[in-house]
Structure 1
């Protein structure tokens, strides 16, 4: 089972700037998003996290260095001015040909989602955790990446995609094939990398519709995330 994660934390997070200067350090229920991600990965059984950093690098690395984490945490430098596939490529050497879970720092995710994807593996290409709960109140229809599938294969992916039958949760199981595909692109976005593998029949899905997650990308999503965490805390207290 996969025990290494790549956590993308390099972006500017401009839509959350009123809540935090750097998105990975934006607090939800008293903890930064990056802490939720790293602790969730550890809870799911991961031993190592490779965090890609760029915008706000010094502040993020200072925070990471100020705490003892329940898994090994290392950082690699990406470039927030480039598409997010550049962040995936930044972790390539650190992965040394191995499989990993790829996750987004700004996605608040139940640890079960990480664990399910680790168990599934990359399958020689990639697998994407998807959610078939179309129209879910936590999903921003203008921002979510949509996916069209046939069986367990991805046939199309993109924002505003029509028709689509599920959402991209932002959690992948990846192998070297994704980095190889991204390296062929002049402007390597993750979505374009998935499309290249999909054209080869190497991009598949894992249904995670029973597991909660939310992309904390703006103030309304942050409010929903806070409400979710409060509900979870109340359930634990009960």
Structure 2
């Protein structure tokens, strides 16, 4: 990728419905749902093969994601998924929590029967993926579950903001497994929020979302801190 090519592909947002936009949506979805891991390297040509296209639309798509901070271009044109620091993850969580709570509260009075049925179906598949320890499948379904709730708020500004935050934090979420699994009983947060939404209880729906995010992210942070301490101890022994 030459400097001239980088300048051309940094020229602005992608045209809606273009091939580049479709590829962008595909990679963006993988980032939001944890299918791509922190530090994972991406190769333009291999991505082009995966999407059965030439490198040009792939390059345009990934450069849009670089501009958004979802991917990073390192020296030597090495493209990879960013590795979030613990501090940066905590800051993202601080922004996400009140917005996701608000989206659930707004969704509760107006969510459709079709969306409630979709939540039941997604949650069933999610539980199955967790039982089989298919962590990446579970993450994708977890993201679909939550975003279905937030999109039911019908507030496009709020939805776009939440999705952009998931785009940045999604690759980090694989760290929640297996330590952050909730017992598969009638007190599981997914079941509690579905029940609150069925009752049109906005306050309870928002509270369940808030508590679930707080619990899950605390476990992620604890795990990452333990891993960092372990690396530091290993370095000190040398």
TM-score by length of 1: 0.29
User: Between Structure 1 and Structure 2, whose CA radius of gyration is higher?
Assistant: 2
Structure with more of its chain in strand, by fraction = 1
Structure with more of its chain in helix, by fraction = 2
